[in-house]
């Protein structure tokens, strides 16, 4: 397979399915992905579902193959300095925090683009950065329910959970595609400007 993204560095701050799936797609096409996790907790997917002998879930390993891992407590100045040093040479930052968290941590696009003006920044949050649902937690089942898709799953009386997290995987794939488009656009731009 052609590793078209072989010179691309991605810093992945996401958890669970959508973000890790997006960065997996990028890693599978050659990007160097560094998964940045919170100490002690890490990605919740590590311990979600059936666990392997290692004590971690198989799903976690599937979503994070071909990636490096780093633990940083971004609430601490020294860890933030390390992260910002990585941002200087990164091409992409991906985050999945609720709106407002990145601003509090000083890792929002506005802050990081001052360090690296070529940075491509991808936010994967449930309902966007504004609107009536901005503070609502968002998970696959919520999206399927709100969109009406869940009504097509299962018996006439009660909907059933689909066997695949359709919304999460769709979000991840569209995020990887959007990042790829932004990388292409930046490559064509003489000033190599980043994008949010």
Active site residue 168: yes
First to last CA, the chain: 29
CA–CA distance, 26 with 3 (Å, rounded to integer): 10
Distance CA 47, CA 69 (A): 16
DSSP class of 44: G
Say what angle helices 166-188 and 140-147 make with each other, to 10 degrees: 100
Angstrom distance (rounded) from CA 8 to CA 183: 9
- Catalytic residue from among 91, 156, 168, 189: 168
* Residues known to be catalytic: 168
């Amino acid at each position: 397979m052609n590793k078209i993204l072989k010179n691309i560095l991605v810093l992945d701050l996401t958890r669970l399915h959508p973000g890790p799936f997006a960065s997996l797609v990028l890693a599978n096409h050659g990007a160097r992905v560094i998964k940045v996790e919170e100490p002690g907790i890490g990605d919740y997917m590590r311990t979600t579902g059936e666990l392997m002998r290692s004590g971690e879930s198989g799903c976690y390993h599937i979503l994070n193959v071909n990636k490096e891992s780093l633990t940083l407590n971004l609430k601490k100045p020294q860890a933030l300095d390390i992260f910002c040093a990585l941002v200087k040479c990164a091409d992409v930052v991906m985050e999945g925090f609720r709106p407002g968290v990145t601003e509090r941590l000083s890792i929002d696009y506005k802050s990081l683009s001052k360090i690296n003006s070529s940075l491509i920044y991808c936010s994967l949050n449930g309902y966007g950065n504004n609107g009536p649902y901005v503070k609502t937690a968002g998970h696959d089942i919520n999206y399927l329910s709100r969109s009406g898709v869940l009504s097509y799953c299962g018996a006439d009386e009660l909907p059933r959970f689909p066997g695949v997290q359709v919304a999460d995987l769709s979000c991840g794939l569209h995020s990887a595609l959007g990042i790829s488009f932004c990388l292409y656009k930046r490559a064509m731009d003489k000033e190599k400007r980043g994008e949010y």
